[in-house]
Structure 1
Amino acid sequence: MIVSVHAQAAPSEACHNAELRIPRPAPGSIGGREFARHVGDLEGSARDAEVRRELLAGNLPEHLRHLAPVTLEARGRDGAPLAVTFCVMRDYLAVGSDSDSLIVPMGLPTALVVAAEFDSVLPTRRLVDAIYEAADLKLAPQPLPASEEMRSTSYLVRHDTLIAEQRALRVAPEDALTAGHKKDLVLSDRLLSIPGRVAIYGWHWAAHHPIQPLSTVHGAQYADYSHGVRLVSRIIYVNGAAREFIDALRDPAVTLLLGGDGARIGRKLQGDLVSVLQQRNPR
């Protein structure tokens, strides 16, 4: 039984050699500003197709390839310590380069395909909280007025500009673990009882104070300017030993450490995607 939990940045060695399975971009790949123009009139599945094409071609900022360690620690009633280290993207998925990028929201189907191709998973709610607590750079949420334009490319570009302006006022390296500026797509077992939806959570004002509580009201294809996708390596470290993320969720102590939510849907989604990817890339 877990009786206490806290998050901290872990020693850098834990994820020093951890990189996701991301291809190198082709010479001349477009930057974020050009991509925004390219998808300017698109939204929904049409824009997702372009996002997916660029990401799977490896057209994303270099700093997203180098993962940051985040550790959750707890102690059971028997006093036995448990420490689980996750290797997480330092920011949300974006198209472009370190100097010219655009954070790209996407529907759950696209997020899951990209995660699977990159040998990664989506976070759980507890992990989103832990990432925020451990973040070197905490950015304040900047909600835009609710309207029918929330899903438009112009809205997401506007929000990306606000994030860049806020970040420019802070002293932090480009590769700082950054959080607070987007809602996360997350794994939640609630999706098992309401298939065809997406689970979103986060946009923290402060630790444990997100604007967005767990929500599954939107369809799986839904994405608006406030959403982001942060990937987590499938390899985690449980008391220093490497484990596969989904397999580790079979351990009740690990599942409880992660808030008791996400284990069942994680295993189901992994199985579904392995089948899809095997059909697409037969060995």
Structure 2
Amino acid sequence: MYSRRIFFFLLICVVFGVACRTAFRLPLPPRPAQAISGEDFYRQVDSMKWNTREPIALKEIFSGNVPDFLRKFVPVHTSITGANGETVNAVFYVAPDYLSIGGNNDFARIPLTPVAAQRIADSLECFLPTRKMVNDIYLAAKVKLPPVPLYAFRDSAIIFWHHHLIIEGQRKGRRGLIAGIKKDVVISGKISRDARPDRVAIYGWHKTDGKPIQPLYTGHVNWYVDYSHGIRLVYRKIKVGRRWMDYTEVLQHPVYKALLCDEDVCDYFRYGQ
């Protein structure tokens, strides 16, 4: 009897495609045995500009040089009240920390431009969060740390590494969904409506009172990245009630879009669209 139940469970996983085995894990290859650490990565790219540094970061990430703890997504619950007063519940799944290179004990968080981040998200069945989702992630976070602003050489690799070390000093080894340590690169309707082309939208860096330092902002060109930016990957399938939907379907739904987006328009799904 039990073996038959297991068989049917596995069959459902295959038929419905919400891969029970891999849906909530980053579909990356195993980390190579001789992969470099996060510190070694920053030593290698120490004096490089973004356009030289990012191809190296992409190569490391696509090779599987990502810590194991970052591969398993965690659920974030959200809900809205429909026009008829009915509660609509949803769950989206997020990486527990910002995109990093290295192993569990020698990783480093890697700020990236939205163009590079989008390449990674597309390849890993993910998308970048909205402003509302960043707020929901902060509320759900197990580890909430106060932001630490830095002011000199903000776009340099050495400051990226320095900021990572500051965060690790704050974290003190605590595990779980973390927030408050970076501004998120987000998707936003403001990007396509900004009169200036090729924008990046950033938001967040919540203080311990829950208020973000950075309001939704599209003032930077999309090749700009600094130490404060973080890439949070979100699995592209959203569970709305008992139904699995692609995030683009949710954002286009007249009611369900409010589960993920709190802007007037929610029609910007990815960088480069």
TM-score (norm 1): 0.84
Match of 1:264 in 2: 267
Displacement of 1:29 in angstroms is: 0.7
Match of 1:160 in 2: 164
* 2:221 alignment partner, one of 209, 219, 233: 219
Amino acid at match of 1:114: I
Partners of 2:24 and 2:73 within 8 A in 1:
yes
| 1:150 correspondence with 2:154 | yes
Equivalents in 2 of 1:153, 1:126: separation in Å? 29
Displacement of 1:242 in angstroms is: 1.1
* 2:25 alignment partner, one of 12, 19, 36: 19
Displacement of 1:25 in angstroms is: 2.3
* 2:248 alignment partner, one of 246, 249, 261: 246
Displacement of 1:15 in angstroms is: 10
Match of 2:12 in 1: none
Q: Within 5 Å, give how 1:102-181 maps onto structure 2.
A: 102-145=108-151, 147=152, 149-168=153-172, 172-173=174-175, 176-181=176-181
Equivalents in 1 of 2:125, 2:264: separation in Å? 21
Percentage of matched positions with identical amino acids: 35
| 1:79 correspondence with 2:92 | no
Of residues 255-264 and 126-135 in structure 1, the stretch that sits farther from structure 2 once superposed is 255-264
Partners of 1:136 and 1:178 within 8 A in 2:
yes
| 1:59 correspondence with 2:59 | no
Label 1:109 to 1:261 Cα distance change in 2 as closer, same or farther (>3 A).
Answer: farther
Partners of 1:197 and 1:220 within 8 A in 2:
yes
Displacement of 1:42 in angstroms is: 1.2
Equivalents in 2 of 1:200, 1:143: separation in Å? 15
CA-to-partner distance for each residue in 1:202-250, whole Å, 9 max, x for gaps?
Answer: 0000465100001111110111001100000011100121111112211
Label 1:262 to 1:95 Cα distance change in 2 as closer, same or farther (>3 A).
Answer: farther
Query: Gapped runs of 5+ residues in structure 1?
Result: 1-13, 273-283
Equivalents in 1 of 2:47, 2:157: separation in Å? 7
Of residues 193-202 and 113-122 in structure 1, the stretch that sits farther from structure 2 once superposed is 193-202
Partners of 2:81 and 2:87 within 8 A in 1:
yes
Partners of 1:123 and 1:230 within 8 A in 2:
yes
Displacement of 1:157 in angstroms is: 1.0
CA-to-partner distance for each residue in 1:59-103, whole Å, 9 max, x for gaps?
Answer: 111111100100111212311111111000000000001100110
Displacement of 1:193 in angstroms is: 2.2
TM-score (norm 2): 0.87
CA-to-partner distance for each residue in 1:28-71, whole Å, 9 max, x for gaps?
Answer: 11111111101111131111111111111111111111001001
Equivalents in 1 of 2:271, 2:248: separation in Å? 10
Match of 1:280 in 2: none
Of residues 192-201 and 177-186 in structure 1, the stretch that sits farther from structure 2 once superposed is 192-201
Amino acid at match of 2:26: L
Query: Gapped runs of 5+ residues in structure 2?
Result: 1-19
Label 1:206 to 1:64 Cα distance change in 2 as closer, same or farther (>3 A).
Answer: same
Label 1:62 to 1:250 Cα distance change in 2 as closer, same or farther (>3 A).
Answer: same
Q: Which structure's CA Rg is the greater one?
A: 2
User: Does the residue aligned with 2:132 lie in a helix, a strand or coil?
Assistant: helix
